[in-house]
Amino acid sequence: MSDKVTIHELFDKKGRGEPITMLTAYDYPTARLVDRSGIDMILVGDSLGMVIHGLPNTTRVTMDMMVMHCAAVARGASQAMLVGDLPFLSYQVSVEEAVRNAGRLVADGGMDAVKLEGGSEMVPIVEALQMAGIAVQGHIGLTPQSISKLGGFKTQGRSAEAARQLLDDALALEAAGCFSLVLEAMPDRVAGLISHKLSIPTIGIGAGVECDGQVLVTQDMLGLGMAPKFVRQYADAAEFINAALVAYRDDVLARTFPAKEHTYSMTDDEWEAFRASVNGARQEG
């Protein structure tokens, strides 16, 4: 593998049947840790609206927010392929706006690719981004930017008709030039069939093991965020961090922190010189 994960390497992994790994990061220190772990792709998702900014959903995330977080992640990661979400209404209004905003994530945010939500209706935008030289990851199934239209965070593709629409959308996005697709919150058999029908890699989140790869929100799998059905919690970081915070509070209250090893000091001569200067200033006053 080269120093930087590329689209070609992702395709090679799909061809070999080797799973692709993807996690989110929204800041410099998290990006460093995820990158160091050998994860293939880092997603700077618009989920940062909820995870970092405490917003009720992703629709309030702006381009300026995304560019800022993308740039921080890009400074922290050197090996993983970086994918930045195009936020709500940054690409749906017109093709021209889509190209301009996607270009910001690449040029100003340091992303290797952008991700957008939607099915066949996104084909003209994907084609335009391809013409502009911008790699695009699609996202179908549960699409959080359309949460009002979908009626909440619900599994998609349960009926035969809905599942067929997901397949048609996936094929259309592949033909338009997407290098991969995120499949979110759909029955595992539907996601598996889509994954086998496509030549491009699929990345599942709540879509079963037959996808070509998996993605989770890092805070969720560390116990710092939400716990939907599809999340496995790999650590209880919240409990660990809380214990450290309480220990700090107790040490400060007991005056056991800062201790001698955490304190800067002066020599006796420097101290006496300082005291003499203070006393002299008082006498002159």
pLDDT digits (tens, 9 = 90+) for 98-142: 999 999 999 999 999 999 999 999 999 999 999 999 999 999 999
Give the pLDDT of residue 229.
86
Q: Look at residue 281 and tell me whether its pLDDT is greater than 90.
A: no
The two structure tokens encoding residue 206: 């709540």
Distant-in-sequence, close-in-space partners of 251: CB < 8 Å, separation ≥ 6: 257
Over range 3-22, report the average pLDDT. Answer: 97
Over range 18-45, report the average pLDDT. Answer: 98
What is the value of pTM for the model shown? 0.93
- Each residue's pLDDT tens digit, 155-173: 889 999 999 999 999 999 9
Residue 285's pLDDT band (boundaries 50, 70, 90)?
low
Q: What are phi and psi of 80, to 5 degrees?
A: -65, 150
Helices 95-107, 123-131: crossing angle, 10 deg rounding:
50
Tell me the percentage of the chain whose pLDDT exceeds 90. 89
Give the pLDDT of residue 264.
95
Residue 1's pLDDT band (boundaries 50, 70, 90)?
very low
Give the pLDDT of residue 168.
98
CA pair distance 150, 157, nearest whole angstrom: 12
Q: Look at residue 283 and tell me whether its pLDDT is greater than 80.
A: no
Residue 34's pLDDT band (boundaries 50, 70, 90)?
very high
Backbone CA torsion sign across 101, 139, 40, 3: negative
Give the pLDDT of residue 33.
98
CA pair distance 171, 6, nearest whole angstrom: 22
Q: Name the residue among 175, 196, 212, 215 with its Cα closest to residue 85.
A: 215
Are 191 and 139 spatial neighbours (Cβ–Cβ below 8 Å)?
no
Q: Which has the higher per-residue pLDDT, 228 or 46?
A: 46
DSSP structure class, residue 77? -
Tell me the percentage of the chain whose pLDDT exceeds 70. 96
Q: Specify the DSSP element, H or E, that contains 204.
A: strand 202-205
- Each residue's pLDDT tens digit, 223-279: 998 788 889 999 999 999 999 999 999 999 999 999 999 999 999 999 999 999 998
Q: Look at residue 2 and tell me whether its pLDDT is greater than 60.
A: no
For the annotated catalytic residues, the residue numbers are 184
DSSP structure class, residue 121? G
Residue 151's pLDDT band (boundaries 50, 70, 90)?
low
Domain boundaries, the chain: 7-235, 240-284
| Residue-averaged pLDDT of the chain | 95
Are 109 and 77 spatial neighbours (Cβ–Cβ below 8 Å)?
no
CA pair distance 125, 117, nearest whole angstrom: 11
Over range 71-96, report the average pLDDT. Answer: 98
What CATH number does domain 7-235 carry, 3.50.50.100, 3.40.50.2300, 3.40.640.10, 3.20.20.60? 3.20.20.60
